[in-house]
Chains A and B, each alone.
Chain A
């Protein structure tokens, strides 16, 4: 079936040539600090940063298509085709190219760190697709309204600015509206916030449709419909979508990640029950040697060793981040390739924060120092060795003496001291004991 405008005449396909290498370059020069989670959600979330490229492809391609129609907009008044048909025919290659670029971005991210384990986060995928639709419509509208010499570069600039601007302002709702905040999503223990996805998707879809209506008026494609009505409806849709999107995002913070649903956990029962997300277990099996014990076994062994020594740790470990103050579980954060040393550090750092408003300066310093030493000691007990100053983040310069005293104690007394410190961190009425 022949297309009214042959594919080889669609300039947007040529934009893919610089876009693809540019994506690879951006990924190479945007190193991830921690080992990236090897699952779809993180890879899709991380790819949102690369919307800067794919959205530019969609917006610029659509502006080029709009400029083609704009040349003969006076004759368009006499077109018999439905406006939706003309716009769809003009728009689809740009949208498809933008989506292809984004799929390529996910692929590059998956290949250079992230992975594609677990379930595809369709909500996020839908939001990203909606965002690309919005940018494509934005380019189409600008290409329709302005002469090509202004419309095409402005489409590129507007797309880039919308993402760049909203990604830096302190008004967090706006970040959720534009969707760039999805870039912060998600480690294995997290999932995207529904409100964040809904905000970006609603705004992008209805805002995009509104922009298309405005473009129809500019291109005189409104046909038998009243220009004023169509234009006003378009502008109202854009404004309304922004208001609704902001309202949905009200109260959201600087990240679009929230604790992942605990229903997804897989629990490994035993003397210590270890609850992990399936992708974490799979990732650990992939990233560690075959002769190393499984992740649940390693976590369980660390906790058992501490309990055997006398530390009152719960018999349940979970990677679930919700219900932070639940005293019956100890939380563990998992990252790709974690050694026992790092797992112990993660488990030990789950002791209470110990912020007490009633503490004066010295008391606060002592509490903080005791906490730091207790964490180091707990970690050392889990690993069956002595703690050293290298294990401690010594903010107040008082940890060395405390550590020296603790290490001098027998193992049972070390565990008892750790228990007392944890109790004091949990209860501001108590003071951390001097070892």
Chain B
């Protein structure tokens, strides 16, 4: 169980980006919705340890520092996929993922086969020897997910993984997510509620740095009607964040 409470975070003094935001991850998907500038990326960075914050953090009931100095156990168990995935220049697809695994502390004799396995899981098993820098946008995103999966973290933080993808790539990515989240907790920030909002997910709506809604999918849609689920999601979201 990963419990996070950000009581306050600011890049600049006097301009808080997150205030009183709590996240609890156990298993399954939590969709983080919100307008641009709501603090979604910042929240993921704070949880991952890319930035420090004021508040509390515990992993499996063990309190940890909220600064960037997270212990190796935390770094191994939490995987973070930034919005913009960059491949290591000059490496093949498999070499890239193996290198990421090595950076996560895995010995190379394990990292090499694990890289192939992770790439298989994201549908890049046939492209192991291709130049990682030559992949398309969607493939690069999947490459990033393989890099996160390779060290088998229990908690995945994915920042807008479907942004800019064509419908086919998006579908493929959602299918991958469904497989991943069977035995992991996934916190995924998105604008793309159509693709990622479905029965059983947790919903967290963030606006202006604070939580507007936190609860199950059904609770999120309650009191909102529409011809399709997408309509209902759109209305529920608009009711919570009228400014977007």
Contact = CB atoms under 8 A, between A and B. Distances in A.
B108 A3 contact: yes
Contacts of B50: 74, 77-78
Interface in B72-96: 72, 75-76, 78, 80, 82, 86-91, 95
Given A78-B75, A79-B75, A80-B104, A2 B82 contact: no
A323 interface: no
B179 interface: no
Interface string B44-77: 0000111000000000000000001111100110
Contacts of A80: 72, 75-76, 103-105
Interface stretch (A5-13, A130-138, A415-423): A5-13
Given A9-B91, A72-B88, A80-B76, A4 B109 contact: no
A79 B100 CA distance: 8
B21 interface: no
Size category of the A interface is 20 to 34
Nearest to A9: B90
Given A74-B82, A75-B80, A79-B75, A11 B68 contact: no
Nearest to A71: B86
B69 A81 contact: no
B80 A4 contact: no
A67 B103 CA distance: 16
A285 to B, nearest CB: 53
Contact of B78 (A2, A78, A86): A78
A67 B89 CA distance: 8
A370 to B, nearest CB: 73
A1 interface: yes
Contacts of A232: none
A334 to B, nearest CB: 53
B99 interface: yes
A290 interface: no
| Chain A interface SS verdict (over half) | loop
B124 interface: no
Contacts of B68: 77, 224
B86 A81 contact: no
B48 A78 contact: yes
B177 to A, nearest CB: 20
A223 interface: yes
A406 to B, nearest CB: 77
Given A1-B108, A80-B104, A75 B91 contact: no
Contacts of B100: 75
A68 B102 contact: no
A68 B90 contact: yes
Contacts of A224: 68-71
B88 A71 contact: yes
A224 B52 CA distance: 12
B217 interface: no
A262 interface: no
Contacts of B109: 1-2
B112 interface: yes
Contacts of A77: 48-50, 68
Interface string A208-244: 0000000000000001110000000000000000000
B49 A78 contact: yes
Contact of A2 (B69, B75, B87, B112): B112
Interface in B24-51: 48-50
B98 interface: yes
B98 A4 contact: yes
A420 to B, nearest CB: 78
Contact of B99 (A5, A67, A223, A225): A5
A9 B69 contact: no
A76 interface: yes
B118 to A, nearest CB: 15
Nearest to B153: A78
B88 A6 contact: no
Nearest to B105: A80
Interface string B94-130: 0100111011110011011000000000000000000
A68 B89 contact: yes
A5 B95 contact: yes
A164 B212 CA distance: 63
A79 B103 contact: yes
Nearest to A77: B50
Contacts of B99: 4-5
Given A77-B68, A80-B75, A6 B102 contact: no
Interface in A1-48: 1-6, 9, 11
A4 B75 contact: no
17 contacts: A4-B98, A4-B108, A6-B95, A67-B89, A71-B86, A72-B88, A77-B68, A78-B48, A78-B80, A79-B103, A79-B104, A80-B76, A80-B105, A81-B102, A81-B103, A223-B69, A225-B69
3 closest Cβ contacts across the A-B interface?
A80-B105, A224-B69, A4-B102
Given A77-B68, A78-B50, 6 more contacts: A4-B98, A5-B95, A6-B95, A9-B90, A68-B89, A78-B80
